Amino acid sequence: MRPVAIAGVGESASGVVPDRTALQLHADAAAAALDDAGLSLADVDGLFTCGEGIDLLHIVRVAEYLGIRPTTFDSTLSGGSAWETFVEHAALSIAAGHCEVALIVYGSTQRSDMGRSLGTSTRGRAKGPRQFEVPYGSTTVSEYAFAAQRYMHETGATREQLAEVAVATRRHAADNPRAFYRDPITVDDVLGSRPISSPLHLLDCCVITDGGGAIVLTSLERARTLRKPPVTVLGSGSAIGAMTASQAGDITDIPARISGERAYRQAGLTAADVDTAQLYDSFTITVLLQLEALGLCPPGEAGAWVADGALDLGGALPTNTDGGGLSANHPGMRGVFLLVEAVRQLRGEADRQVANAEVALCSGTGGYLSVCSTVILGVDR
């Protein structure tokens, strides 16, 4: 099995982009990533993408729109973690010689399509398992709120400590010119923002934006001949938990524990080796639960650890250094942006650079802490 690397990353315009379609954002991001790698579209023989609302056969339409006829493809719809799972699947395909150049791409105009609704709208009659959720007024935020309330109960973490995640992430966003929100916020701002589903308030929740992102993978051998320094895929893992909190068992023990164990094992690394983390931050609680599940903080102490400045530049583990979903962008699903920022950190070209970063961990979560995927990336040496 040959080693695999990320050769290119790219983003489309993000924020509010009412004059672009979602497919254009796919194309913009793909073009940027291919240009970054010094590859052309004709080199691509593998396509990895998923999405909702563009067309019935999303990946086929995206391939058609881009004008490629890939022979390796995967459209696993596992929410925000899909892009980390795509790295896993693309790396396996490339390592086995089944695929040469894989394009992982996403684009969405969620912001312009629906405006800011925090995903709490509900349509249609409640069918299937949802008939035991929808009649009670369950929302996306309330699913995470169950986990937050339980985590606070079990560990003594406080709302102030949750708020520190949003505050630290906003500090990072200040240096990212593409971030949706860049003005500093305080813990009091978070606590005083409108309650959505207790204990989560508005500023505990990610933004909703438009945007697209893409990455290009190939063999490490080939990547070494290309435009940018390769970033190697050291390990990956994915794990499904349960769709809804009532079926999850211990709701604070999220599937990232299992996906992380698999990724660390493959990489031959431990949490102590990680220089920077890009953790899916749909909500502030999502970050604390991933820190715990991935063993990145002292067990049960994620709240105090974060309040102590761990996530900041110069802290114990600079995290979500582009401003994350809480401040920078969140176009429906943002797993691809975790990878884009991690690659930039390992190349030394980030807006808010972590000094001497050699190992980066990306942790995607999908659904309601339902499914997780972990990718560990490293500099080529």
Which of 1, 9, 8, 7 minimizes the C-alpha distance to 92? 1
Q: What is the DSSP letter of 165?
A: H
In whole angstroms, the minimum distance from the beta carbon of 238 to other proteins comes to 20
In whole angstroms, the minimum distance from the beta carbon of 240 to other proteins comes to 13
CB 210 within 8 A of CB 25: yes
184 vs 192, beta carbon nearer other proteins: 192
142 vs 169, beta carbon nearer other proteins: 142
E strand or H helix at 267: helix 256-267
CB 242 within 8 A of CB 370: yes
244 vs 290, beta carbon nearer other proteins: 244
CB 11 within 8 A of CB 337: yes
Contacts of 355 (CB under 8 A, 6+ apart): none
CB atoms under 10 Å from CB of 149, counted, come to: 18
CB 362 within 8 A of CB 339: yes
CB 368 within 8 A of CB 283: no
The residue type found at 216 is V
Please state, in angstroms and as integers, the Cα–Cα distance from residue 111 to each residue in 117, 137, 211, 256, following that order.
Answer: 9, 23, 9, 28
In whole angstroms, the minimum distance from the beta carbon of 197 to other proteins comes to 5
In whole angstroms, the minimum distance from the beta carbon of 166 to other proteins comes to 17
d(CA 67, CA 10): 18
Contacts of 152 (CB under 8 A, 6+ apart): 158, 159, 162, 199, 303
Q: Is the link from the previous residue into 199 a cis peptide, with omega within 30 of 0? A: yes
Contacts of 220 (CB under 8 A, 6+ apart): 2, 3, 4, 5, 230, 232, 380
In whole angstroms, the minimum distance from the beta carbon of 110 to other proteins comes to 17
Residues in contact with other proteins by CB under 8 A are 118, 120-129, 131-139, 141-142, 145-147, 149-150, 153, 194-200, 244-247, 251
CB 362 within 8 A of CB 338: yes
116 vs 227, beta carbon nearer other proteins: 116
243 vs 271, beta carbon nearer other proteins: 243
67 vs 124, beta carbon nearer other proteins: 124
- CA dihedral of residues 297, 303, 305, 309 (deg, nearest 10): 130
87 vs 147, beta carbon nearer other proteins: 147
60 vs 118, beta carbon nearer other proteins: 118
In whole angstroms, the minimum distance from the beta carbon of 239 to other proteins comes to 16
In whole angstroms, the minimum distance from the beta carbon of 369 to other proteins comes to 12
In whole angstroms, the minimum distance from the beta carbon of 198 to other proteins comes to 4
d(CA 45, CA 43): 6
157 vs 377, beta carbon nearer other proteins: 157
75 vs 246, beta carbon nearer other proteins: 246
In whole angstroms, the minimum distance from the beta carbon of 120 to other proteins comes to 6
